[in-house]
Structure 1
Amino acid sequence: MTLLELEGLKVRYGRIEAIHDMSITVEKGEVVSLIGANGAGKTTTMRTISGLLTPSAGTIRFDGEDITKLAAHKRVSLGISQAPEGRGVFPGMTVAENLDMGTFGRKDRSGIAADLERVFTLFPRLKERRTQVGGTMSGGEQQMLAIGRSLMSSPRLLLLDEPSMGLAPQFIRQIFTIIAEIAKQGTTILLVEQNANQALARSDRAYVLETGTITKTGPGRELMADPAIKEAYLGVA
Structure 2
Amino acid sequence: MERTLHLRLTCGLLASAARLTPVPFLDDFLGDRARRLMVDKTLSAHGRRFPSKQVAPLYADPHGCLYGCLLSAVKLLLFPVKKVLTWLFALRYLTRDLSDAVLLGRALDGWLEAGRLADATDPPARLQEASLLRSAFDNAVAGTDMQLLQGLLMKALRGVSGLPKAAWHAVRRLRRGGAGADPTEGLSQADDDAMKRGTAKLGAALETPEARAFLEAFDARLAENVRILEARHASG
* Interval of TM-score (by shorter of Structure 1 and Structure 2): under 0.3
Q: Which has the higher strand share?
A: 1
Q: Provide the TM-score with structure 1 as the length reference.
A: 0.26
Q: Which has the higher helix share?
A: 2
